[in-house]
Chain A
């Protein structure tokens, strides 16, 4: 593969659209193998379908915003850099930290699940050392190079997605018996309140797809790779979510919220077991394992890029912004993901860790569309240099996405109010801390030099 180097301290530019797809889908697909089924526990089959459609609508709009912002800015920090350029330093640092926490918490959760799966297969193994081994191995792969890490993700994700497709079509074409009566039996066990309570777990189907744009700085042609790969990823997840919901609700009982599908740990794998076809059971078991690994792998990539970007702008120590002379990776930021992920993994509160990840993500989903609105206001011109991809229906879909994100966040009050309040307080403190810290490094921002763009419409150039 031809690898074009930017400058001695820059990241290598070698990624293609399929790497963007692999990064985005790789992180998220795990949510379709497990976790999404909590929507069933809250709102039954109809609650889950509603959560999937509402969250899907929000994520499509977020991913379109991210595609435009990513292909325009071409920076590794993703949501952090968009907030830094178009909103301000306090919001930028909060978003950068939220992205970091979102992915690192998810990585920890993934590593624990891989260890549990390994223990189920080989009961003599201990969860603790396996979790450590998974985190250390993925950190090493990401340290060695982004192309290798994301090519690996591509294959793992492709196999896991293929497993869902094979399972869905096997059921649809009658390879095993489906039970459509279960759709009505488990339709709405908690009434209309359950329909809206289910929304809080809707993001599980798509959580993290915005991270696909975070490899823009390492793409060969970011203005082609980011929108093409990210939208392909979004469609993959929409299709995967629909197929997963369909086969699982047909095969596993969901009439009692506290039993069956609503509390299943590995719903797709259990649905495969219910089908009774050995080949499908093996395929979905493999898919469950691979999707956890690819999610953790993508999370190392994205969280390290966010930390690298924070460091590059002095929000955290600039020591982390070094690029490896041989592998062109932000190796110190990559290595630093390891102790934090281990700390999360051994906190002993897996559900709390995951909820913190969701709240962090939702905070980003308010600020990403807001960054786009500000970007459109500051740079209304549609030249290929500033905006090679123009997201449609703006700013309406940006406002709509923010509204849905706030509604979903508010549904966390049903059951997770302290987590929500803690997370919001955490990011509020972070906002003021980083805002004050950034004052020391305040400088005149030269759009031409930094971005190659003309000055913004009202030329407010203080960063």
Chain B
């Protein structure tokens, strides 16, 4: 069963324009990296500025909650979007993503 699927996969890979697929994946990768960079810079700047001006109104423990959720936002989204790229790379030939 595995051999059949391997053979089909190889046949699909032979029938497609590899350069076009590499370019398509590269464009998607730029989009992912750009979006993540924008997220980290803007979100980081806003959270830092607001906490540095308004933060003293709450205790250090509560400020820690802000930092925890900020890290969760950045961390989960980064891992999640990078997984999207991984899945694009893994299935692009088989599912003909860039036709």
Contact = CB atoms under 8 A, between A and B. Distances in A.
Interface residues of B, number: 43
A238 B83 contact: no
B22 interface: no
Contacts of B73: 53, 56-57, 60, 238
A384 B95 contact: yes
B87 interface: yes
A392 B83 contact: yes
Interface stretch (A182-190, A330-338, A340-348): A182-190
Interface in A177-197: 180-181, 183-184, 186-188, 192, 195
A61 interface: yes
A192 B65 CA distance: 13
Contacts of A392: 76, 79-80, 83
Interface in B3-40: 28, 31-32, 35-36, 38-39
A384 B94 contact: yes
A327 interface: no
A67 to B, nearest CB: 7
Contacts of A284: none
Contacts of B76: 57, 60-61, 64, 392-393, 397
A56 B38 CA distance: 16
B47 A231 contact: no
Contact of B35 (A44, A56, A235, A384): A235
A249 B36 contact: no
B95 A49 contact: no
B72 A238 contact: no
A198 B20 CA distance: 49
Contacts of A356: none
B91 A384 contact: yes
Contact of B54 (A57, A187, A388): A187
A180 B57 CA distance: 15
B-side interface mostly: helix
B87 A390 contact: yes
B50 interface: yes
Interface string A16-52: 0000000000000000000000000000111001100
Nearest to A397: B76
Interface in B43-75: 43, 46-47, 49-51, 53-58, 62, 65-66, 69-70, 72-73
A50 B49 contact: no
Contact of A228 (B54, B57, B84, B94): B84
Q: Which of A50, A184, A221, A224 has the most CB of B within 10 A?
A: A224
A196 B73 CA distance: 18
Contacts of A388: 87, 91, 95
A389 B84 contact: yes
Contact of B70 (A53, A168, A221, A397): A53
Contacts of B31: 228, 232
B79 A46 contact: no
Interface string A418-449: 00000000000000000000000000000000
Contacts of A221: 95-97
Given A228-B88, A246-B46, A60 B77 contact: yes
A414 B81 CA distance: 36
Q: Which of A57, A180, A235 has the most CB of B within 10 A?
A: A235
Contacts of A183: 49-50, 53-54
Contacts of B79: 392-393
B12 to A, nearest CB: 11
Contact of A235 (B65, B77, B88): B77
Q: Which of B47, B58, B80 has the most CB of A within 10 A?
A: B80
A159 B81 CA distance: 24
B95 to A, nearest CB: 6
B91 A57 contact: no
Given A53-B70, A188-B58, A391-B83, A231 B50 contact: no
Q: Which of B36, B51, B57, B91 has the most CB of A within 10 A?
A: B57
Interface of A: 44-46, 49-50, 53-54, 56-57, 60-61, 64, 67, 168, 180-181, 183-184, 186-188, 192, 195, 221, 223-224, 227-228, 231-232, 234-236, 238-239, 242-243, 245-246, 249, 384, 388-393, 397
Given A236-B35, A242-B47, A384-B90, 13 more contacts: A50-B65, A57-B69, A180-B53, A186-B54, A187-B58, A231-B32, A231-B77, A231-B81, A235-B77, A239-B38, A239-B39, A388-B95, A393-B76
29 contacts: A46-B54, A49-B50, A50-B66, A53-B66, A53-B73, A57-B69, A57-B76, A60-B73, A61-B76, A180-B53, A181-B53, A183-B53, A192-B58, A221-B96, A223-B95, A224-B97, A228-B84, A232-B35, A235-B35, A235-B36, A239-B38, A239-B39, A242-B47, A249-B50, A384-B95, A388-B91, A389-B84, A391-B83, A392-B76
